[in-house]
Amino acid sequence: MQLQSPLKLWVIRWGPYPRRVLLYLKIKGVPNEDIEIVNMEFTATGGMSGDPDKPAGSVPMLQLEDGSLIRQSMGILQYLEERFAHIGSNMSGTSALERAQIRDMCSLVDEAAAQTHVYMSHASKIFTRLNPHQSKVEAERSEALRDKALRTLADWTSDTRGFLMGGENPTLPDIVLFALMQSYRVFYGDDIGKSMPRLEDFYNKMSGLDGTEAPEYPAHMESIAKQRVVEL
């Protein structure tokens, strides 16, 4: 009998959205043999290299045994949470209320992530070639919207400590928020969330877990990413 091939996941290991999935797999404890991870790299022209058989599209991307594709990080996380429900702790909620609250928090983190990307696309020199019209006004506007979303999340969770849902184990919003904060703090040198004690407490809690160490970033890209556009 021929065994089915495992799930196949394409990532750029240090990217903020692929980082969500890799953190999840590590903390959840999904066995390595259950999912094949294929690392891609950016090319000088902005494309990706590493696997010529990868379907077109961004990363992360998950391929199931029958060839079906899941192309967005939140969809991948939700699929994996159901697929591997028998492993580790529940990360998606054990009641209708918890599941709704977790979806609320993940949506708010996605909002913050989108604004953070816009902010850096105007503020960091690594985007100068891709965005020749970098703007101080747009950078400040996006940073303010990002911080507004994060303050809302801090307010929602102000009556808890550590993980956002206040339990003993992390859930999906912890995974996606930590991936965002770690990526932009380490790679871009941004102070995201540092002015918000609730989120700083959360970040320190997550940083103490096995498997949450920052990935190795391409040194030549990291040095440029930390530089800000002079006009800003």
182 phi and psi angles, rounded to 5 deg: -65, -45
d(CA 39, CA 36): 10
pLDDT value at residue 4: 55
Assigned domain for 115 exists? yes
Compare 21 and 231 and report the one with higher pLDDT.
21
Sheet holding 35-39, edge to edge: 35-39, 7-11, 61-63, 69-70
218 part of a folded domain: yes
176 & 113 share domain: yes
DSSP code, position 95: S
8 secondary structure, DSSP code: E
* 228 DSSP assignment: B
pLDDT (average), residues 103-119: 98
- Would you tell me how many other CB atoms lie within 10 Å of the CB of residue 63? 21
Alpha carbon of residue 53 to chain centroid: 24
- Does 135 lie in the same domain as 31? no
59 belongs to a structural domain: yes
State yes or no: pLDDT of 71 exceeds 80. yes
**What is the reported pLDDT for 2?**
44
Within a domain: 167: yes
Range of the domain at 45: 7-83
Q: What mean pLDDT comes out for the span 166-189?
A: 98
How many structural domains is the chain composed of?
2
| Separation of alpha carbons 207 and 205, rounded Å | 5
User: Which residues are CB-neighbours of 27 under 8 A, at least 6 positions away?
Assistant: 88, 170, 175, 209, 211, 212
Span 11-58, pLDDT tens digits? 999 999 999 999 999 999 999 999 999 999 988 777 888 989 999 999
Query: How many percent of the chain have pLDDT more than 90?
Result: 91
Note the pLDDT of residue 1. Answer: 38
Query: And the tokens for 30?
Result: 């999904």
pLDDT of 6 strictly over 90: no
CATH code assigned at 61? 3.40.30.10
Residues 105 and 20 in one domain: no
